[in-house]
């Protein structure tokens, strides 16, 4: 594949721009091979398809997906990366990746998989698109996502990391797996290619993970709140800062982090810090103060017209709600409101998940349901709600009428629910005094 640097690889013809490369993949619903002409019309410099064509811009390959993956594997094999670090877990992958990248950037050249390119297709694309950066980087950080059995195993084989980080095994996306053991095994497969001199870093508070990896011959390091080589001991907020006390290999340390970090994000910080220590970086603390959370609607706290607004709509899971509540409990506020939408990809667990969500939400003084996706209605089995609507304007209107100076409003839903529409509308009303 003749790819010059900076060229984008597209698998969706609708987003092709002039100069991009189009690779036709066969999905479950659509076959990219039907769209090769469309991609070329939109300016693709060439396309790869499993159908031969007279057009010289169409390269034939019997299996374009295989080609994509093999090309990525070839690039990795021929790069001189000193350390390949893979990160997975139900919650906090992106956060940990960003913190770690920020720490390591003071000690060498860092590559990180961009945005949410964390799948069996996204990661090969990220590798191909950034191959010269990869070729000369000291640290390459890969975020591994999983939505079905075998995804992590596939990515682990492709990347062959020397440090593998499993943050946690929670309930996110559990509907895509047969049972909890399958989900646990899936996440733990990030460790399966580690050699004796490699390192597994994981959550020391989770007995299931500890027992699952007890046989591994590689080095093992743990972080957690109760157990670990690195323990998060205490945290608190003052002004717009988070103060965290933690113990690393028996030594007490303190960090002042900019912004409001929730308890889950502090565990991510612990995991990233421990990873840096495992790379023989002795005092990463100094470099951490410039990391500013949140990233993009992941527990972002703002004060508008005296009302504290927390936008946590990038994604949702029971564990991330729990971690948010632990932090909200420590913030200074009058009354608390939760505006919640569905937690998606729960499959047969959906009712159970939303009933559990209701139990957690009882922490709040008032609960509003955003019912654009109706699974969230099951919250009402375990919690009393104040209002519900599938219309973002109605939700914003209700909030504007009922919230007053000093109150805190927490917004939470899975990405697919697009709860930010309600936030935008509420923010607009607060700012304009409508
Ligand atoms: P991911 O990349 O795994 O989806 P993100 O870093 O994007 O995770 O964070 C998604 C959500 O999870 C945010 O609401 C964030 O506050 C929360 N979160 C982050 N880390 C943790 C953690 N370790 N435990 C629980 N919740 C977390």
Higher-pLDDT residue of 294 and 193 is: 193
Q: Kind and range of the H or E element at 358? A: helix 350-361
Q: Which atom of ligand 1 is nearest to the CA of 167?
A: 23
Region 389-404: what's the mean pLDDT? 97
Q: Which atom of ligand 1 is nearest to the CA of 96?
A: 6
Give residue 392's pLDDT: 97
Residue nearest to atom 15 of ligand 1 (CA): 298
Region 363-374: what's the mean pLDDT? 98
Q: How many Å apart are CA 87 and CA 112, to the nearest integer?
A: 11
Determine whether the shortest distance from the Cβ of 323 to ligand 1 is under 6 A.
Answer: yes
pLDDT tens track for 221-280 = 999 999 999 999 999 999 888 999 999 999 999 888 888 999 999 999 999 999 999 998
Angle between helices 263-278 and 318-328 (to 10 degrees): 100
The complex's ipTM works out to 0.98
Q: Is 118 helix (H, G, I), strand (E, B) or coil?
A: coil
Residue carrying structure tokens 């991609």: 39
Determine whether the shortest distance from the Cβ of 320 to ligand 1 is under 6 A.
Answer: yes
Determine whether the shortest distance from the Cβ of 315 to ligand 1 is under 6 A.
Answer: yes
Give residue 355's pLDDT: 98
What HEC string does 48-73 produce? EECCCCCCCCEEECCCHHHHHHHHHH
Q: Which atom of ligand 1 is nearest to the CA of 143?
A: 2
Region 186-199: what's the mean pLDDT? 96
Residue carrying structure tokens 């913190």: 99
Percent of the chain residues past pLDDT 90, beyond the cut: 82
Percent of the chain residues past pLDDT 70, beyond the cut: 96
Does the structure show a pLDDT above 60 at 126?
yes
Long-range contacts of residues 216-223, Cβ cutoff 8 Å, at least 24 apart: 216/191, 218/191, 218/194, 219/278, 221/274, 221/278, 223/267, 223/270, 223/271, 223/273, 223/274
pLDDT tens track for 283-292 = 776 555 667 6
Q: How many Å apart are CA 392 and CA 424, to the nearest integer?
A: 9
Q: How far is CA 189 from CA 213, 325, 376, in A?
A: 10, 31, 32
175 pLDDT band (50/70/90 cuts)?
Answer: confident
Q: How many Å apart are CA 166 and CA 159, to the nearest integer?
A: 15
Give residue 239's pLDDT: 87
Distance 418 CA to ligand 1 centre (A): 17
Indicate the top mutation candidate among 86, 89, 92 to test ligand 1's pocket, ranked by most ligand atoms within 8 A of CB: 92
Indicate the top mutation candidate among 90, 265, 269 to test ligand 1's pocket, ranked by most ligand atoms within 8 A of CB: 265
Determine whether the shortest distance from the Cβ of 204 to ligand 1 is under 6 A.
Answer: no
For CA atoms 11, 13, 17, 21, the dihedral sign is positive
Determine whether the shortest distance from the Cβ of 232 to ligand 1 is under 6 A.
Answer: no
Give residue 290's pLDDT: 66
Q: How many Å apart are CA 180 and CA 173, to the nearest integer?
A: 11
Distance 52 CA to ligand 1 centre (A): 44
Determine whether the shortest distance from the Cβ of 262 to ligand 1 is under 6 A.
Answer: yes
Contacts of 257 (CB under 8 A, 6+ apart): 241, 242, 243, 244, 269, 288, 289, 291, 293
Determine whether the shortest distance from the Cβ of 93 to ligand 1 is under 6 A.
Answer: yes
Residue nearest to atom 17 of ligand 1 (CA): 320
Determine whether the shortest distance from the Cβ of 202 to ligand 1 is under 6 A.
Answer: no
Give residue 288's pLDDT: 59
Distance 84 CA to ligand 1 centre (A): 22
Comparing 34-48, 205-219, 292-306, 394-408, the range with the smallest average pLDDT is 292-306
403 pLDDT band (50/70/90 cuts)?
Answer: very high
Region 43-47: what's the mean pLDDT? 93
Q: How many Å apart are CA 427 and CA 219, to the nearest integer?
A: 49
pLDDT tens track for 57-112 = 999 999 999 999 999 999 999 899 999 999 999 999 999 999 999 899 989 999 99
Alpha helices in 52-204 (DSSP H): 64-77, 93-104, 122-129, 131-135, 151-159, 180-188
Determine whether the shortest distance from the Cβ of 98 to ligand 1 is under 6 A.
Answer: no
Q: How many Å apart are CA 137 and CA 127, to the nearest integer?
A: 12
Give residue 202's pLDDT: 98
Give residue 299's pLDDT: 92
Does the structure show a pLDDT above 90 at 127?
yes
Q: How many Å apart are CA 419 and CA 263, to the nearest integer?
A: 23
Q: How many Å apart are CA 318 and CA 323, to the nearest integer?
A: 9
Determine whether the shortest distance from the Cβ of 265 to ligand 1 is under 6 A.
Answer: yes
298 pLDDT band (50/70/90 cuts)?
Answer: confident
Of 187, 219, 179, nearest to 201 (Cα)?
219
Region 7-18: what's the mean pLDDT? 92
Determine whether the shortest distance from the Cβ of 203 to ligand 1 is under 6 A.
Answer: no
Determine whether the shortest distance from the Cβ of 268 to ligand 1 is under 6 A.
Answer: yes
Distance 293 CA to ligand 1 centre (A): 12
How far apart, in Å, do the first and last CA atoms of the chain sit? 56
Beta-bridge mates of residue 230: 223, 248
Does the structure show a pLDDT above 70 at 3?
no
172 secondary structure, DSSP code:
T
Give residue 432's pLDDT: 85
Region 168-190: what's the mean pLDDT? 91
Beta-bridge mates of residue 164: 86, 200
Indicate the top mutation candidate among 88, 90, 95, 223 to test ligand 1's pocket, ranked by most ligand atoms within 8 A of CB: 95
Of 105, 53, 55, 143, nearest to 291 (Cα)?
105
Give residue 163's pLDDT: 98
342 secondary structure, DSSP code:
-
Give residue 11's pLDDT: 93
Residue nearest to atom 8 of ligand 1 (CA): 92
Does the structure show a pLDDT above 70 at 293?
no
Distance 18 CA to ligand 1 centre (A): 36
pLDDT tens track for 337-361 = 999 999 999 999 999 999 999 999 9
């Amino acid at each position: 594949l003749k790819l010059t640097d900076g060229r984008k690889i597209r698998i969706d013809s609708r987003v092709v721009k002039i100069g991009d490369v189009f690779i036709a993949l066969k999905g479950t619903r659509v076959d990219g091979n039907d769209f090769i002409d469309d991609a070329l019309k939109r300016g693709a410099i060439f396309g790869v398809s499993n159908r031969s064509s007279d057009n010289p811009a169409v390269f034939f390959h019997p299996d374009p997906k295989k080609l994509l993956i093999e090309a990525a594997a070839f690039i990795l094999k021929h790069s001189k990366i000193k350390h390949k670090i893979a990160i997975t877990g139900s919650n906090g992958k992106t956060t940990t990746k960003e913190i770690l990248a920020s720490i390591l950037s003071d000690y060498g050249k860092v590559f990180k998989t961009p945005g949410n390119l964390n799948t069996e297709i996204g990661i090969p694309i990220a590798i191909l698109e950034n191959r010269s950066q990869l070729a000369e980087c000291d640290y390459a950080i890969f975020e591994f996502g999983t939505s079905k059995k075998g995804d992590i195993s596939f990515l682990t084989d492709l990347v062959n990391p020397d440090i593998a980080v499993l943050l946690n095994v929670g309930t996110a996306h559990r509907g895509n797996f047969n049972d909890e053991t399958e989900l646990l095994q899936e996440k733990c497969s990030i460790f399966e290619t580690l050699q004796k001199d490699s390192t597994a870093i994981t959550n020391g508070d989770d007995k299931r993970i500890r027992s699952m990896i007890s046989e591994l011959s590689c080095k093992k390091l743990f972080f957690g709140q109760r157990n670990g080589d690195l323990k998060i001991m205490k945290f608190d907020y003052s002004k717009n800062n988070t103060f965290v006390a933690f113990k690393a290999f028996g030594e007490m340390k303190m960090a002042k982090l900019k912004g409001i970090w929730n308890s889950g994000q502090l565990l991510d910080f612990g995991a990233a810090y421990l990873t840096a220590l495992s790379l023989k970086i002795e005092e990463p603390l100094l470099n951490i103060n410039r990391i500013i959370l949140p990233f993009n609607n992941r527990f972002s706290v703002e004060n508008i017209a005296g009302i504290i607004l927390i936008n946590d709509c990038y994604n949702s899971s029971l564990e991330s709600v729990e971690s948010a509540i632990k932090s909200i409990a420590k913030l200074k506020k009058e009354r608390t409101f939760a505006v919640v939408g569905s937690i998606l990809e729960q499959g047969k667990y959906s009712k159970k998940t939303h009933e559990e969500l209701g139990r957690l939400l009882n922490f709040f003084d008032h609960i509003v349901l955003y019912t654009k996706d109706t699974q969230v209605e099951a919250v009402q089995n375990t919690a009393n709600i104040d209002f519900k609507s599938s219309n973002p304007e109605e939700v914003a209107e209700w909030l504007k009428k009922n919230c007053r100076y000093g109150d805190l409003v927490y917004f939470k839903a899975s990405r697919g629910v697009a709860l930010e529409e309600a936030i935008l509308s509420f923010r607009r009303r607060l700012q304009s005094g409508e």
